[in-house]
Amino acid sequence: MAELPLSHVAIIMDGNGRWARQRGLERTAGHAAGEEALFDVVEGAVELGLAWLTVYAFSTENWKRPSEEVEFLMLFNESLLLRRRQQVHELGVRVRFIGEQNDPRIPASTQARMAETIELTASNRGTNLVFAFNYGSRVELAHAAQALATEVAAGRLALEKIDEAALAAGLYLPELPDPDLVIRTSGEQRISNFLLWQAAYAELYFTDVLWPDFRREHLQAGIAEFARRRRRFGAV
């Protein structure tokens, strides 16, 4: 297997609603169809030897959607973990979550399934699959800043010691490497409050493919495009 030119791909899984609408279906049918896409991509990531795969599963802004859709997404994500966690475990995948996991709006049963999945896969050494669930990057950064302010107020941290590394240490998953590549499906070209700090130098790849139609070959196409780009990181 050829060596990958990157270690971390992050995906904004967009277009479920449009996929369903094109077929005369309820929006929730699009979310359900996206499950097959997700796990085909996970299997593809494992085949490629990708170290980290982060997917935007539910944003802090998604609470604004109709209550019926939000309820469906909560129960769907819970049942998805029940259906698929053994599969990802057998693939050697380690599952992580970033976001406001203790939000009282998240059903206790969903939180329990998340904790069980983390525990089940904790010893796995294959691809790290990170679900950004109830995640918003601005909230993440605000919490990191609050933690630093608390340390300064308590006299445990000098103000002049606050730097990029200190703030990064207060993010949800400090060991999460910066994404090399951020993919967004459905033709939209924005990052929607996703990994704003971590993606400062990520390459962005936008595809018109709606998320339920996205497969491992589309992931490979994104990685191939990444490999063709020259990354300067501010240099000449």
CA distances from 81 to 26, 62, 138, 224 (A): 22, 19, 27, 30
The rounded distance, in Å, linking the Cα atoms of 26 and 113 is 26
Residue that the structure tokens 């049942």 belong to? 79
14 noted as active-site residue: yes
CB neighbours of 65 closer than 8 A, spacing ≥ 6? 73
**Cβ–Cβ < 8 Å for 140, 169:** no
Closest CA to 76 of 55, 106, 52: 106
Q: How far is CA 110 from CA 2, 96, 106, 187, in A?
A: 39, 14, 7, 31
Q: Could you tell me which of 130, 122, 124, 117 has the C-alpha nearest to residue 54? A: 130
Quote the crossing angle between the two packed helices 27-48 and 216-228, to the nearest 10°. 60
Radius of gyration for the alpha carbons in the chain, expressed in angstroms and rounded: 18
User: 3-class DSSP state for residue 165?
Assistant: helix
Give kind and range of the element (H or E) at residue 129: strand 128-135
Which of 40, 62, 124, 213 is the catalytic position?
62
> Which entry of 14, 128, 134, 180 is annotated as an active-site residue?
14
Contact between residue 94 and residue 121 where contact means Cβ atoms under 8 Å apart: yes
User: Catalytic positions, please?
Assistant: 14, 62
